[in-house]
Each structure stands twice: as structure tokens, then as C-alpha cells.
């Protein structure tokens, strides 16, 4: 099985060292380089190809967002997972098509879950056994939904699967539709246990302001 080549970038030595140790514990990741600045990361990437980057945002000189823009211009297929102590950059990260957004301090479990979520589709591990595993999950999901008489909220067509939002009652959808009750119910936090939800939370905050 081919490993996913990653570059870690963080100007804080202790944070970078911890990230290196976490990456070493993930069997399908291979650390290409650990960089202390955006400029160093740019130089390394020109010499050593990578599939993904773990990228701090707040760094002196060129910050992580600017680095991501420049990297995406030359290497559009590279996956970028941001690591930061702030939620406020989530919308900007989303606009750059980031693959993930982790809030510091990051635990090993959080990093593992994020790479499983962000780097799973399209990587070297997506083979026939993985497809069978996905089929089992989808079959179980359909059976559970059918048992409750709501199997029609999932729609499959031409190899794609989606949730049919029109058949759901969701406060998030109502919020973006301008529902006053849903707007007033928002208390500044959205699914904080899940790192991928930070992108949506950023959009929620923009609507509140």
C-alpha cells in the first residue's frame, strides 16, 4: 500500500515535534519534511513532492493562508489540513478548499480522525476492500432508515449518494433560510466535537454579525 506523503509546517518547535510524533503513529502517512516556516515549506515542496500538508496558520512572515494560496496555484491537487488555535480563519480556509481544519491543542485521536475523514477519498487506500467496507456501511444505514420508515431521505443515482434536504427538518437549513426562531436559537457553537464542522460554524458566525 502506497503511503500518503506529508509535510508538516509550524513555527513553534514543540508543536512541530508533537505533530511529527503523531504522523509517525499513522501507518499510511509518511513524513516528507518538518518545516519551521512557510518559506522553508515552499522550498522543500519544490524538491520533495507531497500529497498533503499539515499547516499552521499563525506564523511570522508569510502565514499559513498565504502559503496555501501559493501552493494551490502550483500544486492544485495537494490536500491541506490547517492547524490553528483560532476558529476565525475557518471561512478563509474553506474558500481555499482546505481538506481539514484542526483547533489546537490537537490530540492524536483528533489528528487520526481528521486524516481518516479528509484524506480517505481518492488516496491510495481507496481500493476494492475499502469499497466493500463502504457498501456494508451504506447497506446498514439503509436498513436502519427503512426500519424507521424514512429510507427516502437517502437518494442514490449514477454512483452517487446524497441526503435529500427537502425531506429533513433541520435547524441549520432553517437558519440559512432566514427562520427567526432558528436564528435566535444559535448560541455561538455548532457541533464543536467535530473538526469538520468548523467550516459551517464560520459561515454561521458571518450571518450573525
Q: Is the pLDDT of residue 43 over 80?
A: yes
Q: Name the residue with cell 509518511.
A: 30
- What pLDDT, in 10s, does the model give residues 60-81? 989 999 999 999 999 988 999 9
- What pLDDT, in 10s, does the model give residues 90-111? 878 878 888 888 889 999 998 9
Q: Which residues are 157's β-sheet partners?
A: 160
- End-to-end distance of the chain based on CA atoms, in angstroms? 47
pTM score = 0.65
- Tell me which residue of 81, 74, 34 sits closest to 53, measured CA to CA: 81
DSSP letter for 10, please.
-
Report which secondary-structure segment, H or E, holds 7.
strand 4-9
**Beta strand ranges found along 94-171 (DSSP E):** 100-103, 154-157, 160-163
- Domains and their CATH numbers in the chain: 4-118 (3.40.50.2300), 128-208 (no CATH)
Biggest CA-to-CA distance, the chain: 56
Amino acid at each position: 500500500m502506497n503511503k500518503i506523503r506529508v509535510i508538516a509546517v509550524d513555527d513553534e518547535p514543540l508543536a512541530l515535534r508533537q505533530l511529527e510524533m503523531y504522523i509517525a503513529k499513522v501507518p499510511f502517512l509518511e513524513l516528507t519534511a518538518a518545516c519551521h516556516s512557510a518559506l522553508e515549506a515552499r522550498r522543500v515542496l519544490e524538491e520533495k513532492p507531497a500529497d498533503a500538508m499539515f499547516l499552521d496558520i499563525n506564523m511570522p512572515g508569510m502565514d499559513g493562508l498565504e502559503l496555501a494560496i501559493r501552493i494551490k496555484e502550483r500544486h492544485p491537487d495537494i490536500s491541506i489540513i490547517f492547524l490553528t488555535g483560532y476558529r476565525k480563519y475557518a471561512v478563509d480556509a474553506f474558500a481555499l478548499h482546505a481538506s481539514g481544519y484542526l483547533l489546537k491543542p490537537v490530540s492524536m485521536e483528533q489528528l487520526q480522525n481528521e486524516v481518516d475523514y479528509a484524506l480517505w477519498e481518492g488516496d491510495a487506500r481507496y481500493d476494492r476492500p475499502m469499497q466493500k467496507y463502504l457498501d456494508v456501511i451504506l447497506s446498514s444505514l439503509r436498513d436502519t432508515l427503512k426500519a424507521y420508515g424514512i429510507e427516502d431521505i437517502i437518494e442514490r443515482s449514477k454512483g452517487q449518494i446524497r441526503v435529500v434536504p427537502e425531506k429533513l427538518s433541520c435547524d441549520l437549513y432553517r437558519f440559512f433560510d432566514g427562520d427567526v426562531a432558528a436564528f435566535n436559537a444559535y448560541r455561538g457553537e455548532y457541533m464543536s466535537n467535530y473538526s469538520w464542522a468548523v467550516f459551517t460554524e464560520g459561515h454561521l458566525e458571518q450571518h450573525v454579525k
